[in-house]
Structure 1
Amino acid sequence: MSTSPPTQARSASIFLGAALAFMTTMMGTTLPTPLYPIYRDAMGFSQLMVTVIFAVYAAGVIAALLVTGRWSDQLGRRPLLFAGLALSAISDVVFWNAEGIGMLLAGRVLSGLSAGIFTGTATVAVMELAPPAWGRASTLIATAANMGGLGLGPIVAGVLATLFPMPLVVPFAVHFVLVLVAVICIWRAPETVKRPDKIRLRIQAPRIPAEVRSVFLPASIAAFAGFMVCGFFTASAPSMLGGELGYTNHALIGFVVGLLFIASTVGQILQDRLPQAKRLPIGCAVLLVGVLIVAWGIVAEALLGFVLGAIVSGIGQGIGFRAGLGAVSSASESNHRAAVVSTFFVVAYVAISLPVVGIGLLGSIAGQQTAALSFALIVALLSCIALGLLLKGRRL
């Protein structure tokens, strides 16, 4: 069962250190994004293989969420966080030594496992380590560390690949050093869980307690739509920008992709200014507008559409993501919270992986533009479904 650490131990530095470790781990998962064109030229694989590489990462995330989703409630938060950091560091070493597709796949699996462990465990741990005075800001910082890290990954990698030699080594070496700093941060943090007398490590079947289901359904649909956009920008946008629009600068590609996640963080901050009951519907509506702008950018082959679409979609995704996560977490009992949060993220990472593979397959048959427009239509429909459920629930 979860217990709060002593108040004196819940200092701002420990809390922010845990958030930094969370951000660092998630940053490592998107580092390869602007580097995929370099890998393609060096190793000679297709865009479809890029989506497969990305899907393997998401499979690692989902596997870790399902296997370890309940473990931190039994073993404690810190052991799981150390395991996630170790996997992240190993993935860096694999990437900077990668000489073929097999090592890229291995690196992505390791990165996915690290993200899966961190996503559920660190989200809860950061909130539990928050000093009492920080209040609801702890949820914001936890989700901002997640999405902010995802956004920094492609930006940092793109800039480093542009400015320095050995573009397939330097980004991962820099991240490896950051992981070592993150280890120190977690080492300083107190444990927030009291281990039960008898530890039971079970594989988590995606199951939502009855008292959470009415909240979970619209929140998970909104998260699915939002993370579909994240998956598209991370796996397919570099190819769209380079192949369809002719922009091959790695820093620019990293900036456009990272902009979505940075905008998501901004959306999470803006959420506090919105009425609580309207946050998730507003998030869905803004996401809908954003994906329509992306669709215009695809049809017009306009960089402006990708930039504006990333900003608007990211803001909508951020509002909906934080609102949904906060609602699901609040509706869950403390001894089931990590498991429920992990299930919420399973839905999100299924959205990142399976649709992206579908886009890659469709793109190889009908062309990238047709596949990208199909993606936009699906996200728009899901946003409308989530909006309908939320508005219907308010009328009941």
Structure 2
Amino acid sequence: MTAHTRRPDRTAATPGAAEPPPGSRRWMWLAAWPVVVALALSNEPAPLYVLWQDRLGFSAATITLIYAGYIAGLLAALTFAGTLADRYGRKPVLLPGLALALVAAALFATAHSVAVLGVARVLSGFAVGAFLAAGMAAVADLAPAGEKQLGGLVASAAMVGGAALGPLLAGVLSEALPHPTVLVFAVQAGLLLTALPVVLRMPLRRPGAQPRGAGRALRVPSVPREHRRTLLLSLAVFAPAMTATGFVLSLGPSLLAELLHTGNRALAGGMIFLLFAAATGVQFAVRGLPVRTLFRLGAALTTASMAALVLGTAATSVPLLLAAAVLAGLGQGSSQLGGLSTLSARVPSARLAEANAALTSGGYLMAGALPVAAGYLSDGVGLTAGTTAFGVAVAVLVTAGAVAATRR
């Protein structure tokens, strides 16, 4: 068998059992489940920061640094996860990612120091990076022929749907049950284990020979030269939109606690759930719109979110803060759908996982840097002033990005 021959992955199927062929809708939806449960871990710690902050006594800046550890792990994973998944297949990336997610859940459950929280966050970033690159590409691979845009939609919805599930689960369970952090991450470990048979049985094909110019496996994720402008223009809108949601994830619960004078974790988790539920729902609602319209809509919604955030903080208005979270989710969902749909339609399958990794890396890079800056600024000048500066910066960036993207 030559390097150019494509053959199916071995699966754990029972001998004689009928397996849907690659390209079935059933397997496309099943492949989305591992992405959902892995992404649940990405935001699950967010409502619990208030609990850990009271127990360990750290500042708002430390919260953003812990979140930045997640971003660092994710970006590190994306430097090789996408290219390895394109070169060696999706499963060899997904299975180690699942193992790292289980280790991270165990560390979160037993964390009694900021250092352990930081390590757990970094490992969760590695795990999520593997699923963002290889898992979302697997969903697109298994989409029926002629329905690759649907595959991109399902992959994107699985990403934000999982991100919505995690904080809601953590917030509700931590309020309702004793030993909140232990039980929350025990449940998360159980969910991760349900993804294992799905990953093992997915009827994915092994990659064929790499195209000329594929290069080394370990490199900064990118796209073929002819698609780089598409990637950069997508990032011009997607990255600021994702940064708006990053602020809600890192400092949103603290801001809500300051406004309400309460540390209710179910409320904080519910706010984050609303954000990502909005991001999921809007993608199905606007899936028929042209990409250019999606980018304009994403920029407008993100700008409206930042206006609500600034006004809500200044007026100590919880409804405005919740509106800011929902609008941020709508903005991210619209711009993310535009970017992923464009890449799924234009980038060859042999480079699709790397292209997804490049888009996600760029978005998370800004989403990690600006909230950390806002956290340190808030420690120095107050949460209200820091939030205002952050909101203005994101609104300017996303507006400029939309102008550039829609002109092209």
* Aligned residues of 1:125 and 1:192 also touching (Cα < 8 A): no
* Aligned residues of 2:83 and 2:221 also touching (Cα < 8 A): no
Residues 163 and 266 of structure 1, relative CA distance in 2, 3 Å threshold: same
Match of 1:174 among 187, 204, 209: 187
User: Who is 1:360 aligned against?
Assistant: 375
1:391 Cα deviation (Å)?
3.6
Residues 197 and 51 of structure 1, relative CA distance in 2, 3 Å threshold: closer
* Whole-angstrom distance in 2 between the partners of 1:12 and 1:214: 32
Residues 12 and 262 of structure 1, relative CA distance in 2, 3 Å threshold: same
* Whole-angstrom distance in 2 between the partners of 1:44 and 1:83: 34
User: Who is 1:48 aligned against?
Assistant: 61
1:75 aligns with 2:83: no
1:325 Cα deviation (Å)?
1.6
User: Who is 1:209 aligned against?
Assistant: 224
User: Who is 2:269 aligned against?
Assistant: 254
* Aligned residues of 2:136 and 2:155 also touching (Cα < 8 A): yes
* Whole-angstrom distance in 2 between the partners of 1:195 and 1:4: 9
* Aligned residues of 1:81 and 1:118 also touching (Cα < 8 A): yes
Task: Determine helix, strand or coil for the equivalent of 1:8.
Answer: coil
The structure with more helix, counted as a fraction of residues? 1
* Whole-angstrom distance in 1 between the partners of 2:131 and 2:298: 25
Task: Determine helix, strand or coil for the equivalent of 1:136.
Answer: helix
What per-residue deviation string (whole Å, max 9, x for no partner) do you get for residues 317-373 of structure 1? 211111112113322222222212211111011022111110111111111111111
User: Who is 1:336 aligned against?
Assistant: 351
* Aligned residues of 1:241 and 1:253 also touching (Cα < 8 A): yes
Bigger shift: residues 323-332 or 106-115: 323-332
Q: Which ranges in structure 2 are unaligned for 5 or more consecutive residues?
A: 9-18
1:184 aligns with 2:197: yes
1:127 aligns with 2:140: yes
* Aligned residues of 2:104 and 2:123 also touching (Cα < 8 A): yes
* Whole-angstrom distance in 1 between the partners of 2:334 and 2:273: 17
What per-residue deviation string (whole Å, max 9, x for no partner) do you get for residues 54-91 of structure 1? 00010000000013220011111011111111111111
Bigger shift: residues 173-182 or 123-132: 123-132
Match of 1:17 among 30, 39, 61: 30
What per-residue deviation string (whole Å, max 9, x for no partner) do you get for residues 102-125 of structure 1? 211111111000011111111111
* Aligned residues of 2:312 and 2:320 also touching (Cα < 8 A): yes
TM-score normalised by the chain length of structure 1: 0.94
Residues 230 and 333 of structure 1, relative CA distance in 2, 3 Å threshold: same
What per-residue deviation string (whole Å, max 9, x for no partner) do you get for residues 2-47 of structure 1? 9796972444443222101100000011111100111011111112
User: Who is 1:155 aligned against?
Assistant: 168
Residues 255 and 4 of structure 1, relative CA distance in 2, 3 Å threshold: farther
Residues 129 and 55 of structure 1, relative CA distance in 2, 3 Å threshold: same
TM-score normalised by the chain length of structure 2: 0.91
Aligned AA for 1:260? L
Q: Which ranges in structure 1 are unaligned for 5 or more consecutive residues?
A: none
* Whole-angstrom distance in 1 between the partners of 2:146 and 2:274: 31
* Whole-angstrom distance in 1 between the partners of 2:375 and 2:116: 21
Aligned AA for 1:263? A
* Aligned residues of 1:2 and 1:334 also touching (Cα < 8 A): no
Query: For 1:29-108, what aligned pairs fall within 5 Å after superposition?
Result: 29-108=42-121
